[in-house]
Structures are given as structure tokens and as C-alpha cells.
């Protein structure tokens, strides 16, 4: 089975469509790691599209909670908070309800798990090996997909007890990179963010996991950033959020 893994779409319909066009039919099922909304302009479009794609499993993100009013974005920075309140005003009632009922991670799919933040806390950021180790040792499975940081890559716990970062290299023109999963190691894999990458590469990020071939294929897809930025300006979303899309940070 090949799973298309979507994470941190953040109301960026232009980026999501570029991803779907790139991947074509090279997958069997879809997984969504949360943050369908927040930051971006296409609140209902992105929600509608994910509903239509009908992921076989999905978990909620902190922006899905804040945008749908399940939580108050008191711990968000001012720009993110403004976008969360704006998102709440835009959501149609059916999409608001859809976001509110998204499950809390971890969710189990076959022999792996998906989470938004980490295995122990859906809102925890896993940026470093020390945080990754907690999830890798806590999980009941040896493969976990996570989002939230908007950094494509992840971590591997070797048999020796060492935690290593998955490092990806993107020479010009290259759009995909394959990772072969070792059977005697545990993995925490981040497909990257579709709608607001922060790892220095503005291209939309996603991954495809093939459980038969034991591979994770990471992808980076260019999309028309200017179109999303223009839509953001039109509805007066905060300028720093508009600018960071072009920088990928
Ligand atoms: Zn996010």
C-alpha cells in the first residue's frame, strides 16, 4: 500500500493543488497530519478539498483547534493569532464542525502511527534528537509520521541507541528523494509542510510511504507562491505571514 502523506496545508489551496497534480495516482490512500487551516487564505477551499480526498486517517493540529474555536490561540504569536481569529470568521459551519471533530493523535494505521506534534503530546514540537528520542522510545510501533514543525525529514533511532537526523539534499531540479527504511531501526518521519514550509525551501513538501517496499519518498513541488500571497494581501492577513511563504522560513 502506498500512502500519500499530507501535513500542515495551512489554507494554501494553490500549494495543495500543485502537490496533488505532481503525485497523480501514485498512491492508494491518503493520510493527513493536521493543520488543514491557519495562516493562509483558502480556509474553506482547503477544508473542502481534504474532505473530498477522504483521508483514511487524520489527526487534528493546533491550528485546526484554534481556527475552529476548540482552543483559544493565547500561546500563538500575534500574527498567528490574528490569522486564527480570521480563520474562525471565514469557516462555513460544516467545515467548522469538520475541524472540531478531527481526532486527537496518535492514530494507528496498519503497522505505523500518525501524530501532529509528538507521540506524547499533539502540540509538542520535535525539532531535536532529544525530543525525537522520547517519541521513538514511547511509541508502540517502529514508524511514526509527524508534522507541526514544518521541517521535512525526521529522525531515526538505530539499534545502537543513537538518534540521527534524516538529512535531505536537494540539488537544483531534483524534486524527490527516497529513504529506504531499515528493519532494525525506528523512524519518526516528517513529510514537511505543504502550505508554509519553514526549512528554507519554499516549495510545497509532502511524502509517499510504501509499506511493501519499506520506503519513504520525500517530495518538493514548486507552486505559484505569488498567487497565495496576493490572496492573503487581499484579505489583509498579516504581512509577515505573506512574506515568509516566499522565503520558506
Ligand atoms: Zn502547522
In whole angstroms, give the CA distance from residue 238 to residue 88: 15
Contact in structure between 42 and 91 (CB atoms under 8 Å): no
Buried b / exposed e over 106-130, threshold 16 CB at 10 Å, is: bbebeebbbbbbbbeebebebeebe
Distance 101 CA to ligand 1 centre (A): 18
Distance 106 CA to ligand 1 centre (A): 16
Which sequence spans correspond to the domains of the chain?
A: 2-247
**Residue 106: predicted pLDDT:** 97
Distance 76 CA to ligand 1 centre (A): 12
Distance 129 CA to ligand 1 centre (A): 20
**Residue 63: predicted pLDDT:** 98
Residues 111-170 pLDDT 10s: 999 999 999 999 999 999 999 999 999 999 999 999 999 999 999 999 999 999 999 999
Distance 198 CA to ligand 1 centre (A): 10
Burial class (CB in 10 A: 0-12, 13-18, 19+), 65: buried
**Residue 227: predicted pLDDT:** 97
Distance 1 CA to ligand 1 centre (A): 26
Distance 172 CA to ligand 1 centre (A): 26
**Residue 210: predicted pLDDT:** 98
Q: Say what the pTM is.
A: 0.97
Distance 149 CA to ligand 1 centre (A): 7
Three cell numbers written together for 129: 534528537
**Residue 137: predicted pLDDT:** 95
Distance 10 CA to ligand 1 centre (A): 7
Question: pLDDT below 70 — which residues of the chain?
Answer: none
**Residue 196: predicted pLDDT:** 98
Looking at the structure, give the CATH architecture of the domain made up of residues 2-247: 4-Layer Sandwich (3.60)
Distance 44 CA to ligand 1 centre (A): 17
Distance 239 CA to ligand 1 centre (A): 18
Burial class (CB in 10 A: 0-12, 13-18, 19+), 71: middle
Distance 169 CA to ligand 1 centre (A): 23
Beta bridge partners of 217: 178, 208
What is the Rg, in whole angstroms, of the alpha carbon atoms belonging to the chain? 17
Torsion region of 222: left, alpha or beta (phi above 0 gives left; psi -120 to 50 gives alpha):
beta
**Residue 169: predicted pLDDT:** 92
Distance 187 CA to ligand 1 centre (A): 20
Distance 102 CA to ligand 1 centre (A): 15
Distance 184 CA to ligand 1 centre (A): 31
Three cell numbers written together for 63: 491550528
Q: What is the dihedral of CA 145, 188, 221, 243, to 10 degrees?
A: 90
Indicate the pairing of strand 29-32 with strand 57-58.
Answer: parallel
- 44: CB partners within 8 A, 6+ apart: 90, 91, 92, 95
**Residue 144: predicted pLDDT:** 98
In whole angstroms, give the CA distance from residue 216 to residue 152: 12
In whole angstroms, give the CA distance from residue 23 to residue 220: 11
Other CB atoms within 10 Å distance of the CB of residue 198:
18
Q: Where are the alpha helices (DSSP H) in 12-157?
A: 13-23, 43-53, 62-67, 78-90, 93-100, 129-138
Dihedrals phi, psi of 147, to nearest 5 degrees: -130, -135
Amino acid at each position: 500500500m502506498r500512502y500519500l502523506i499530507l501535513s500542515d496545508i495551512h489554507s494554501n489551496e494553490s500549494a495543495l493543488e500543485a502537490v496533488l497534480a505532481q503525485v497523480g495516482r501514485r498512491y492508494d490512500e491518503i493520510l493527513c497530519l493536521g493543520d488543514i487551516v491557519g495562516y493562509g487564505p483558502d480556509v474553506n477551499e482547503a477544508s473542502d478539498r481534504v474532505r473530498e480526498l477522504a483521508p483514511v486517517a487524520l489527526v487534528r493540529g493546533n491550528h485546526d483547534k484554534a481556527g475552529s474555536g476548540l482552543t483559544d490561540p493565547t500561546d500563538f504569536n500575534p500574527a498567528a493569532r490574528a490569522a486564527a481569529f480570521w480563520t474562525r470568521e471565514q469557516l462555513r459551519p460544516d467545515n467548522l464542525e469538520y475541524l472540531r471533530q478531527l481526532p486527537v493523535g496518535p492514530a494507528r494505521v496498519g503497522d505505523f502511527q500518525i501524530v501532529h506534534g509528538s507521540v506524547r503530546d499533539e502540540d509538542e514540537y520535535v525539532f531535536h534528537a532529544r525530543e525525537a528520542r522520547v517519541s521513538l522510545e514511547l511509541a508502540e510501533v517502529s514508524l511514526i509520521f509527524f508534522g507541526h514543525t514544518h521541517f521535512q525529514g525526521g529522525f531515526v533511532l538505530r539499534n545502537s541507541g543513537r538518534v540521527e537526523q534524516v538529512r535531505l539534499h536537494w540539488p537544483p531540479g531534483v524534486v524527490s528523494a527516497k529513504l529506504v527504511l531499515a528493519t532494525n531501526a525506528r523512524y519518526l518521519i516528517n513529510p514537511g509542510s505543504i502550505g508554509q514550509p519553514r526549512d528554507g525551501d519554499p516549495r510545497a513538501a509532502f511524502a509517499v510511504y510504501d509499506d511493501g517496499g519499506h520506503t519513504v519518498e520525500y517530495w518538493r513541488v514548486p507552486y505559484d507562491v505569488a498567487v497565495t500571497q496576493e490572496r492573503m494581501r487581499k484579505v489583509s492577513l498579516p504581512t509577515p505571514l505573506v512574506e515568509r511563504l516566499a522565503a520558506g522560513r
